[in-house]
Structure 1
Amino acid sequence: MILVEETTLADAALPVAELRAYLRLGTGFDLADDGDENRALAGFLRAAMATIEGRTGKVLLRRDYRLVLQDWRDPCGQPLPMAPVGRVDAVQIEAADGSLRTLPPDSWRLVEDVMRPLIRPRGPALPEVPDGGSAVIRFTAGFADDWALVPADLAQAVLMLAARYYEDRGQEAGRALPMGVSALIERWRAVRVLAGRGAR
């Protein structure tokens, strides 16, 4: 399985102002309000978001993805590795020679689920993937375009973790999440649906 993020979030989409406010209230740091400092804070936010999204399988701000599979995990229903999925733009079969065949939209459907979205066939099964070929799914995942609409517990977890990264800069950070961050994301965590014996 190959998952490619095809959208890059602009710094303007990140909650830099919220992190600045959180750092001042939480630690009393006097942060310089300049471009270099804002870019550094954006970097800590990106790192914190990547960690939270990796631990939960939930996308906070909407982005486009391309999923490439050597074969379907289950031809009766292919789980998507990130959630929530609001739109699937294309389901395609790529032949060994690189040519793409786009499946008609009426031959499959998206089963929306905040934990386990699926692509299901409208017929008996998804089409066979040829030897040396792949299945390609292009989809959009994420809770919102605006940070204010991200679930509050996940948004708070990102700010707390980004603040920890800021405070630990220049030091070797530990691998474990802070306890408060782990508690905030716990209800969003799910067993990764593409892990295990059937994943390809």
Structure 2
Amino acid sequence: MMLIEETAPAAEALPVAALRAHLRLAQGFDGPDDAAETAALAGFLRAAIATIEGRTGKVLLTRRFRMQLDDWRDRLGQALPLAPVHSVDRIEIDDGAGTVTVLPPETWRMVPDAQRPVILPAGVVLPHVPRRGMVTVTFTAGFGASWDQVPADLAQAVLLLAARYYDDRSQDGRGHALPFGVSALIERWRAVRTLAGRGSREWR
């Protein structure tokens, strides 16, 4: 599977002011240094968001993704790797010989789920993918377009982790372990990795 992020969180959606306040940094002085600091804080926030999303499988700020598979994991239903999913925008099958077929929306449906949204066939099974072909699913996921729509515990986890990245900015070989406070905040959001491949029938 390949998962491609087609759009990035908008710069204005990042809680730069909240991080600056959390770090108790001076603010209100416009100039090159202030702009550089803002850009640096935004970078720490993006890194923290990516880490939290990677650990939980939850998309904090809404954006579009493209998932590519060489075949369905299960033709009775294909789980999506991220949540919450707002919409599945397009599903297409490439036969590997230059022909791409867009699946009509009436032939499938998306079942929302807090942990693992699923694409189900309208009929018995999802369409066949040729041996050398590929299926591409384009979908939109995220809690919202603005930071105030992100759950409070996840938002706080991002601030704590971004602050840690800020504090460690001059150190080489920063450790990969999450601070305990961050781990505690995201624990309830972590995806339960049960049968996600062939043979899974969680959605039935």
Checking the alignment, whether the CA contact within 8 Å between 1:71 and 1:134 is kept in structure 2 is yes
Counterpart code for 1:182: S
Q: CA deviation at 1:134?
A: 0.6
- Compare 167-176 and 180-189 and name the one that shifted more: 167-176
For residue 58 of structure 1, what is the aligned residue in structure 2? 58
Tell me, yes or no, if structure 1 residue 40 matches structure 2 residue 40: yes
Cα distance change on mapping 1:40 and 1:163 into 2, 3 Å: same
Is the Cα–Cα contact under 8 Å of residues 115 and 192 in structure 2 kept in the other structure? no
The answer to whether the 8 A contact 2:74-2:197 is kept is no
Alpha-carbon distance, 1:32 to partner = 8.0
Q: Deviations over 1:145-197 (max 9, x none)?
A: 11011000000000000000000001131110000000000000013478667
Once the 2 structures are TM-superposed, how far is the Cα of residue 30 of structure 1 from its aligned partner? 4.1
> 1:10: how far off?
2.6
2:1 aligned with 1:5, yes or no? no
Structure 1 pair 98/160, CA: closer, same or farther in 2 (3 Å)? Answer: farther
Query: After TM superposition, what 4+ stretches of structure 1 lie above 6 angstroms from structure 2?
Result: 193-199
CA distance in 1, matches of 2:2, 2:23: 36
Shift of 1:102: 0.6
**Structure 2, unaligned stretches of length 5 or more?**
none
Deviation of 1:31 (Å): 6.2
Q: Equivalences for 1:58-137 in 2 at 5 Å?
A: 58-137=58-137
Whether the aligned pair in 2 keeps the contact of 1:116 and 1:193 (CA below 8 Å) is no
User: Structure 1 length as normaliser, TM-score?
Assistant: 0.92
TM-score in terms of structure 2 length: 0.90
What CA distance in whole angstroms lies between the structure 2 residues aligned with 1:58 and 1:82?
6
> 1:150 maps to what in 2?
150
Report the aligned-residue RMSD: 1.9
Deviates more, 1:189-198 or 1:149-158: 189-198
- State the SS of the aligned residue for 1:129: coil
Aligned partner of 2:188 in structure 1 is 187
> In the aligned structure 2, how far is the partner of 1:111 from the partner of 1:150?
22
| 1:131-150 deviation per Cα after TM superposition (whole angstroms, max 9, x unaligned) | 11111100000000110110
Q: Is the 8 A contact 1:80 1:193 kept in 2?
A: no
3-state SS of 1:64 partner: strand
CA distance in 2, matches of 1:11, 1:192: 32
Deviation of 1:8 after TM superposition, in Å, equals 1.9
Structure 1 residues 195 and 46: CA distance shift in structure 2, 3 A:
farther
After superposition, give the CA deviation of every residue in 1:6-65 in whole Å (9 maximum; x if it has no partner).
0022321211011111111xxxx5468511000000000000000000000000000100
Q: CA deviation at 1:74?
A: 0.7
1:67 match: secondary structure: strand
Q: Which runs of 5+ in 1 are unaligned?
A: none
Q: CA deviation at 1:95?
A: 1.3
* Aligned partner of residue 187 in structure 2, secondary structure: helix
Contact 1:80/1:116 (8 A) holds in 2? yes
Equivalent-residue separation in structure 2 for 1:192 and 1:140 (angstroms): 22
* Identical counterparts, % of pairs: 62
CA distance in 2, matches of 1:6, 1:40: 23
Aligned-pair distance for 1:98? 3.5
Give the AA of the match of 1:84. Answer: P
